[in-house]
Amino acid sequence: MNPAIEVRNLSKEFTLHTQGGTVLPVFRNLDLTVSPGECVVLGGPSGVGKSTLIRCMYANYRPTGGTIAVRHDGRPADIVSAPPRQVIDVRRRTLGYVSQFLRTIPRVPALDIVAEPLRAVGVEAAEARARAAELLRRLRIPERLFGLPPATFSGGEQQRVNIARGFAHPYPILLLDEPTASLDAANRETVVGLVREALDRGAAIVAILHDQDARDAVATRLFDLSPYSAM
Amino acid sequence: MSVDTQADAPLLEVQGLSKRFGAIQACRNISFDLWPGEVIGIVGESGSGKTTLLNCISARLAPDSGRVLYRTRHEGPADLNGMSEPARRMLMRTDWGFVHQDPREGLRMRVSAGANVGERLMALGARHYGNIRAEALDWLGMVEIDQTRVDDMPRTFSGGMLQRLQIARNLVTRPRLVFMDEPTGGLDVSVQARLLDLIRGLVADLGLSAVVVTHDLAVARMLSHRLMVMWRGSVVETGLTDQVLDDPHHPYTQLLVSSVLQP
């Protein structure tokens, strides 16, 4: 089967010009291949660069070297060197990302935040909202909050809105950065269910999951970043 | 926000643009493309050349060198400098919008709100008073101005309302490209949020392309797909907005990002 993601020779370091040009190397010459239907959970001690790797895969961070081929429209696209418009297109249709924190937008209600990725791929407003509502209900967001902007929600509620948003569109590839942090047991179980459903439809998933139970429930493989550490 | 990722050509092409004021190099050899549906933010501190760049690419100021090509609706790419004055004026009145930081610069303060919105329609040849008024009322509604204010003079409006009126005046002709110079500058924070959300919605719904100059990184993050960071007349860093703000590479961008106060 064609890989969904192929990371080759990836290196990332940060140069802090405001700190006298201090260079912080993170990882070096990292290789990782993820196939459809796989859930690769990233491992290694805190600071080894798990979030940095996920952010590089989303093209949010720009690597120092290497390539990240993402299967988009049946062809590999190097997200590191792709022009911005192509990255936007890959993110819209292929690459989903659940970050650690929800970025709220003033005045935009929770329901619309969740429906937005569906609207972006052309789903009708009513259908997108219905799917969004279904996800929010599954994640136990009270119905009365659907119409409110999440800026005032609790941390756990915001994270669940974020998860619903990430799972609204059936992306072929999902990047999950600690989706179960700050969730109670019942909601953790729901997220495990969502991940399993995504795997069943053939999604390729890369996740950071510190919760042992959640990890055991979904991981098909662990990938330890320690050997690539450049510290 | 919706970039048309299937479009086959850029709407605006800026090639090697430079502009000097005496000893000061305001813009140095700047090139970029703007694609249909795309919003580019230009950030940088005062004096970095971002407003000069905006004025040069919107035909309000002639560059010393370089070219600005605009893909017109019917005749393909046209060099702004080679264009006749009437053609350029027509473009500015219909296909383009320009939102000034100070709405008083973009509005006519001595005619009513409704007339401000209707004026650009009349420039396009609309003559039927009832239609023009109906369209003006529609647009007041879209920018969240109470429609009963249609006959009021702009000077009776608050700053936020004036800015929304200026936006309605610009968008009524359904432009394809809108230039914005610090559109939320000088407004209270609460008023800013409402305006930003409104601009975001209109840009997405109308499929507009836009170039937004701002020194406010939060505004840039919310409105633009891509960023250009200007410093001393040069573009020192470009990329997707989240790349530039979350993983800034150039020393000046890092300083800019690290200087933002977190509330």
Indicate yes or no: CB of B197 within 8 angstroms of CB of A55.
no
Confidence at residue A104, expressed as pLDDT on a 0 to 100 scale: 78
The two tokens of residue B129 are 């008073």
- Which neighbouring-strand residues pair with B65? B18
Does any domain span residue B155? no
Confidence of residue B2 (pLDDT cuts 50, 70, 90): low
CB-based contact (8 Å) between B237 and chain A?
no
User: Which residue of A lies nearest to B39 if distances are taken between CA atoms?
Assistant: A85
Phi, psi of B108 (to 5 degrees): -100, 115
What is each CA distance from A73 to A90, A100, A148, A203, B83, in whole angstroms? 9, 28, 36, 14, 41
pLDDT (mean) for B122-150: 92
Q: How confident is the model at residue B262 (pLDDT cuts 50, 70, 90)?
A: low
B89 by DSSP, 3-state: which? helix
DSSP, collapsed to helix, strand or coil, labels residue A77 as strand
Q: Determine phi and psi for A9, rounding to 5 degrees.
A: 55, 35
pLDDT digits (tens, 9 = 90+) for B161-203: 999 999 999 999 999 999 999 999 878 888 888 888 888 888 8
- Give the helix ranges, DSSP H, for chain B: 50-57, 85-90, 103-106, 113-123, 129-142, 159-171, 189-206, 217-223, 241-246, 251-258
Over its length of 231 residues, how does chain A's per-residue pLDDT go in tens digits? 799 999 999 999 999 999 999 999 999 999 999 999 999 999 999 999 999 999 999 999 999 999 999 999 999 999 999 999 999 999 999 999 999 888 877 788 999 999 999 999 999 999 999 999 999 999 999 999 999 999 999 999 999 999 999 999 999 999 999 999 889 999 999 999 999 999 999 999 999 999 999 999 999 999 999 999 987
Tell me the mean pLDDT in the region B67-94.
90
pLDDT for the residue numbered B56? 96
> What CATH number does residue B185 fall under?
3.40.50.300
Q: Is residue B231 part of a domain?
A: yes
With CB atoms and an 8 Å threshold, state whether B247 touches A55.
Answer: yes
Using the structure block, give the residue that is written with the tokens 């053609």: B87
Residue A75 touches partner B, C-beta closer than 8 Å: no
Interface touch B222/A105, C-beta < 8 Å:
yes
| ipTM score for this prediction | 0.94
User: What's the confidence (pLDDT) of residue B263?
Assistant: 57
Contact between chains at B5 and A106 (C-beta distance less than 8 A): no
- Residue B153 located in a structural domain: no
pLDDT at A177 (0 to 100): 96
The mean pLDDT value of chain B amounts to: 92
Question: Does the CB of B61 have a partner CB in chain A at under 8 Å?
Answer: no
Residue B124 lies in a domain: no
List the structure tokens of B222: 């919310």
pLDDT class of B25 with cuts at 50, 70, 90? very high
Residue A63, CB-side half-sphere exposure with 13 Å CA sphere:
27
pLDDT of residue A110: 96
Per the structure, the complete domain to which residue B198 belongs is given by 12-105+176-258
Contact of A170 with A205, CB cutoff 8 Å: no
Residue of B nearest to A89 (CA): B5
Q: Give A60's contacts (C-beta < 8 A, 6+ positions apart).
A: A97, B242, B243, B246, B247
Q: How many domains in chain B?
A: 1
